[in-house]
Amino acid sequence: MLFNSLEFALFIPVVFILYWFITNKNLKLQNFFLLVASYFFYGWWDWRFLFLIFFSTCVDYLVGLKIGQSKEDKSRKIFLWVSLFVNLGLLGIFKYYNFFADSFVDAFSFFGVSFESARLNIILPVGISFYTFQTLSYTIDIYKERIKPTTDFIAFAAFISFFPQLVAGPIERASNLLPQFLKKRVFEYDKAVDGMRQILWGLFKKMVIADNSASLVDALLNSPDQSGSTVVLAVIFFTFQVYGDFSGYSDIAIGTARLMGFNLMQNFAAPYFSTNMTDFYRKWHISLSTWIRDYIYTPLGLRLRHLNRSYGYIIVFLITFTLFGFWHGANWTFIVFGIIQGIILSYEYRSRKMRKKVKAAVNKKAYLFISGILTYAVWCFSCLIFRAESMSHAISMLDSVFSLSLFSFPEFNGKKLALTTTIFIVLFMTVEWFGKNEQYAIGGLPLKFKRPLRWFFYITLVAVIFMYAGEKQEFVYFQF
């Protein structure tokens, strides 16, 4: 069920009314209702996926209890490994098995040995990467004694399958979200209005910015003219497609959760105004970036602390971001994308003192402006690899970019759409700039207006969504 679909437009009012007016007097009933609603929402794609998420939920609920009850460190580790083996095993089978099998065959073919391997003809369960990381953090945090296990299975199952953020995040920690299922929730009008405002902004980003950009990206990359200028224009639109799409999903998810009385973590914080890639990853997909920092980067850094401090961290960056890229999917383009991010962040780590001196020696505003442009250019280069269908496709596009055709005028169908979308992107980024310190861009901005002007802003936003919505497409991160 897509957030931008008629089915969801009918689903959410029914859930809202039953949740607040029928089940609100009993916390367990309210949680059970959320669990049923979440399973219905998830099963709308394919009811068979429900068995997988229910199995993971049962395993980690029982493992969490066992880790909490165990006094010996050895038995606690065994139960933790059970959770890791089951969750990562399922993720590996459904998401990565065919990739490893094909890579294994290709490696032997390189040496002249030819054979076939068995491939699995299975569908990738929607959102498996997201809820796997969410449930893993629960058992790891119990093992690290950061939280205590819950004995309320319904609350735990609702936490794992909570429909607003189930499919594409934010990836919530049990320490933040689970306690909210264990205490009575009271309807707050201002909170619900704020949730509706964030949903509206998310729909604008998805339906106007992302979907129109997606149409242009497809038109540009599928055009007969594969000049460097065409590729660059496609990549620029792709950066706004993926940002509008994913941050739009996050806004709708966070706003919907707020309607239900829950607070989810901020997932994007105006990342396109970053002045370096280190800052960028503090603002982009924050729930994944902090998850990787806490559960991979920091533990790995502690294990490799005996190495030279600078070069040890470079190794940690490369390993961490290679895994970060691989998380996105079973394709060499994602692995190379991750390696590139690791190299860039390693450079920034090594050059931080030098860059600090340069910043102090030149005009600060000019330095920040140039740094912002360079950071966005690096992100565009990364997105070219990310968007490519294969490494050969990526190399072909790079070959076009680094040629004289970069200075030609791009020829493609849809120039009128490109102009309209560009105007909306400029307006969108202007709003993002003025709202960059808010939890979401229009979180506080309209409240500064008088009521008539505020309502005019909302009505205009709704009208733009209906008039200029692009061709309906699934959210980009559903494939991850």
305 in any annotated domain = yes
Q: Using an 8 Å Cβ cutoff, are 202 and 245 in contact?
A: no
Angle between helices 27-43 and 6-21 in degrees, nearest 10: 170
364 in any annotated domain = yes
Q: Which residues are CB-contacts of 95 (< 8 A; sequence separation ≥ 6)?
A: 124, 128, 129, 329, 330
- Are residues 164 and 210 both part of a single domain? no
Can you give the residue range of the structural domain that contains 347? 191-479
In this prediction, residue 103 has a pLDDT band, given cuts at 50, 70 and 90, of low
- Are residues 312 and 361 both part of a single domain? yes
**pLDDT of amino acid 199:** 94
Q: Which residues are catalytic?
A: 328
The number of folded domains in the chain is 2
Given a cut of 90, whether residue 218 has pLDDT beyond it is no
Minimum mean pLDDT range among 100-109, 166-175, 227-236, 259-268: 100-109
Q: 20-42 in b/e burial notation, b at 16+ Cβ within 10 A? A: beebbeebeebbbbbbebbbebb
List the structure tokens of 176: 């933040």
- Are residues 112 and 198 both part of a single domain? no
Given a cut of 60, whether residue 74 has pLDDT beyond it is yes
Q: Using an 8 Å Cβ cutoff, are 329 and 95 in contact?
A: yes
Maximal CA-CA distance, the chain: 74
pTM to 2 decimals?
Answer: 0.91
- Are residues 352 and 323 both part of a single domain? yes
Q: Could you say which of 156, 186, 216 is where a domain stops?
A: 186
- Are residues 344 and 411 both part of a single domain? yes
Cis peptide before 170 (omega within 30 of 0): yes
Q: Could you say which of 186, 218, 250 is where a domain stops?
A: 186
- Are residues 159 and 80 both part of a single domain? yes
412 in any annotated domain = yes
CA distance 238 to 404: 22
- Are residues 82 and 126 both part of a single domain? yes
Using one digit for the tens of pLDDT, what is the confidence trace for 355-398?
Answer: 888 888 888 888 889 999 999 999 999 999 999 988 988 998 89
At 379, phi and psi to the nearest 5? -65, -40
**pLDDT of amino acid 116:** 63
In this prediction, residue 329 has a pLDDT band, given cuts at 50, 70 and 90, of confident
Q: Using an 8 Å Cβ cutoff, are 386 and 332 in contact?
A: no
Q: What is the mean pLDDT of residues 131-138?
A: 91
Given a cut of 70, whether residue 305 has pLDDT beyond it is no
473 in any annotated domain = yes
Amino acid, single-letter form, for residue 231: V
227 in any annotated domain = yes
- Are residues 151 and 250 both part of a single domain? no
Picking from 132, 112, 117, 178, the residue whose alpha carbon sits closest to that of residue 151 is 178
167 in any annotated domain = yes
CA distance 347 to 359: 17
Distances (CA, A) of 184 to 26, 29, 31, 181: 8, 11, 10, 8
Amino acid, single-letter form, for residue 438: E
- Are residues 306 and 444 both part of a single domain? yes
Q: What is the mean pLDDT of residues 151-160?
A: 94
**pLDDT of amino acid 309:** 63
Dihedral sign, Cα of residue 92, residue 93, residue 96, residue 101 = positive
Q: Could you say which of 186, 202, 233 is where a domain stops?
A: 186
**pLDDT of amino acid 479:** 65
Percent of the chain with pLDDT over 90: 52
1 in any annotated domain = no
- Are residues 37 and 52 both part of a single domain? yes
Given a cut of 80, whether residue 80 has pLDDT beyond it is yes
Q: What is the mean pLDDT of residues 140-167?
A: 93
Q: What is the mean pLDDT of the chain?
A: 87
DSSP state of 404: G
Q: What is the mean pLDDT of residues 75-96?
A: 88
- Are residues 132 and 50 both part of a single domain? yes
**pLDDT of amino acid 114:** 60
Given a cut of 90, whether residue 477 has pLDDT beyond it is no
Residue ranges in 144-276 assigned as alpha helix (H): 153-161, 163-166, 174-181, 189-204, 211-221, 228-259
Given a cut of 90, whether residue 17 has pLDDT beyond it is yes
**pLDDT of amino acid 407:** 86
In this prediction, residue 79 has a pLDDT band, given cuts at 50, 70 and 90, of very high
Picking from 354, 364, 284, 361, the residue whose alpha carbon sits closest to that of residue 324 is 284
Q: Using an 8 Å Cβ cutoff, are 142 and 68 in contact?
A: yes
In this prediction, residue 405 has a pLDDT band, given cuts at 50, 70 and 90, of confident
Q: How far apart are the first and last CA of the chain?
A: 16
Given a cut of 70, whether residue 127 has pLDDT beyond it is yes
**pLDDT of amino acid 119:** 61
Q: Which residues are CB-contacts of 370 (< 8 A; sequence separation ≥ 6)?
A: none
- Are residues 163 and 298 both part of a single domain? no
In this prediction, residue 118 has a pLDDT band, given cuts at 50, 70 and 90, of low
Q: What is the mean pLDDT of residues 131-145?
A: 92
In this prediction, residue 480 has a pLDDT band, given cuts at 50, 70 and 90, of low
Minimum mean pLDDT range among 72-86, 265-279, 434-448: 434-448
